Amino acid sequence: MDRKTFCMLAGIIFTLVALFHAVRIYMEWPVMIGDWSAPKWVSWVALIVAGGLAVIGFRFTANDEY
């Protein structure tokens, strides 16, 4: 797998993760890990981080000079 394909695949995966967190926030789905209920701010942070990583992945895909 070359670098361009890897960056595209990573961008797609991080986009899906960001979309999942956006839907979780919008639909108010609860997330339970054992006895702990994850608050919404965790999904906000994950949405921003995953969205940023998706943008970086797609920018590296479009840039041939890396």
Question: Which own/partner pairs from 18-21 qualify as long-range (CB within 8 Å, at least 24 positions apart)?
Answer: 18/46, 18/47, 18/50, 18/51, 18/54, 21/46, 21/47, 21/50
Task: Name residue, tokens 């595209």.
Answer: 8
**Residue 25 confidence (pLDDT):** 96
Instruction: Provide the residue-wise pLDDT of the chain in tens; the chain has 66 residues.
Output: 888 999 999 999 999 999 999 999 999 999 999 999 999 999 999 999 999 999 999 999 987 665
Q: Domain tally for the chain?
A: 1
Residue range(s) defining the domain that contains residue 11: 3-62
